[in-house]
């Protein structure tokens, strides 16, 4: 390795999300998580929770339970009482609308709060307002965290519905006048075009799904397509770029694999690459639930 290649951390790290005012992991076990989302307690499947719950009694009063059918992301919600279809939540300056989606998620991923905190401090520490690209940006929480901290953001997602929710979240946060570009397009196609144009960004957030489809039928497969996309993202980094965050939820991937990929694609850029796992820390006791893997290049 040359002196200008990134230095990869020797050991993995754990980026832990602890509860905040609008969210908490209350208990876990028997393949499920019990979480608080604003005013509601919610039970969702989580195969990694192989232990027994710590307090069986607290589960009985859950407002919503997701019953999986086949794949753990597919199924239907079962409600106790009449919870609202949507409700506001927030983290720091950013507000968004939570909702019971058809795929067990509530229109955001709470474990990403560890990344939000890092992005917030990194953007605020920049000497000049950075240009940030958020690929597979979903409902826009990470984009809004960066915008609230002073960044100019390009938010890309293939889902027109998700883009609409993200724009609504910007208005809810009072950030609709910030410099945010909302792009409904296949992420790979957008990055290919930006590379041809010679566009540059000071930071990139890359959070791809295991499998997905673009608005024109484009197919995304993580293991087959991520190497090319990571290479294109490396091209888009400016000479003064400060970060590239890569996150993945696939079962067969690891933080070490993501770090190795970034090390290859960012050869010659210097800086450091940290890698490991994103985890949710339970409110009671010392349990935590691993949720995804990450690698993060910092200049």
Whether residues 35 and 158 share a domain: the answer is no
Average pLDDT for the chain: 95
Whether residues 118 and 55 share a domain: the answer is no
- Of 66-80, 177-191, 222-236, 261-275, the range with the lowest mean pLDDT is 66-80
Per-residue model confidence (pLDDT) at position 103:
87
Here the CATH number for the domain that contains residue 140 is 3.40.50.150
90, 120, 145 — which closes off a domain? 90
Give the C-alpha separation, 77 to 74, whole Å.
10
Here the CATH number for the domain that contains residue 28 is 2.60.40.1180
Whether residues 132 and 234 share a domain: the answer is yes
Closest by CA position to 245, among listed 256, 230, 257:
230
Whether residues 31 and 121 share a domain: the answer is no
Whether residues 130 and 177 share a domain: the answer is yes
CB contact at 8 A, 30 and 295: no
CA dihedral sign, ordered 68, 46, 215, 220:
negative
Per-residue model confidence (pLDDT) at position 72:
60
Per-residue model confidence (pLDDT) at position 1:
42
Which residues constitute the domain of residue 247? 7-17+91-98+105-298
Whether residues 58 and 195 share a domain: the answer is no
Domain assignment present for residue 1? The answer is no
| pTM for the full predicted model | 0.95
């Amino acid at each position: 390795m040359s002196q200008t290649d990134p230095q990869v951390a020797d050991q993995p790290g754990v980026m832990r999300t602890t509860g905040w005012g609008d969210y908490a992991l209350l208990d876990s076990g028997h393949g499920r998580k019990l979480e608080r989302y604003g005013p509601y307690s919610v039970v969702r499947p989580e195969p990694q929770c192989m232990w027994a719950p710590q307090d069986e009694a607290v589960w009985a009063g859950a407002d919503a339970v997701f019953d999986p059918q086949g794949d753990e992301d597919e199924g239907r919600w079962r409600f106790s009482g009449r919870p609202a279809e949507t409700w506001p939540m927030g983290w720091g300056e950013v507000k968004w609308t939570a909702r019971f989606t058809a795929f067990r998620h509530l229109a955001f991923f709470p474990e990403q709060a560890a990344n939000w905190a890092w992005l917030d401090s990194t953007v605020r520490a920049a000497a000049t307002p950075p240009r940030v690209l958020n690929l597979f940006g979903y409902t826009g929480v990470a984009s809004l965290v960066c915008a609230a901290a002073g960044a100019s953001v390009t938010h890309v997602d293939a889902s027109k519905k998700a883009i609409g929710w993200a724009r609504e979240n910007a208005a809810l946060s009072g950030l609709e006048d910030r410099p945010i570009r909302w792009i409904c397009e296949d992420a790979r196609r957008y990055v290919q075009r930006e590379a041809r144009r010679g566009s540059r960004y000071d930071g990139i957030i890359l959070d791809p799904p295991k499998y997905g489809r673009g608005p024109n039928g484009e197919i995304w497969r993580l293991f087959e397509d991520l190497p090319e996309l990571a290479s294109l993202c490396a091209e888009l980094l400016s000479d003064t770029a400060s970060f590239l965050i890569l996150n993945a939820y696939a079962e067969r991937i690891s933080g070490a694999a993501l770090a190795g990929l970034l090390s290859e694609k960012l050869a010659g850029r210097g800086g450091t690459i940290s890698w490991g796992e994103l985890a949710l820390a339970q409110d009671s006791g010392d349990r935590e639930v691993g949720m995804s893997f990450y690698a993060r290049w910092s200049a």
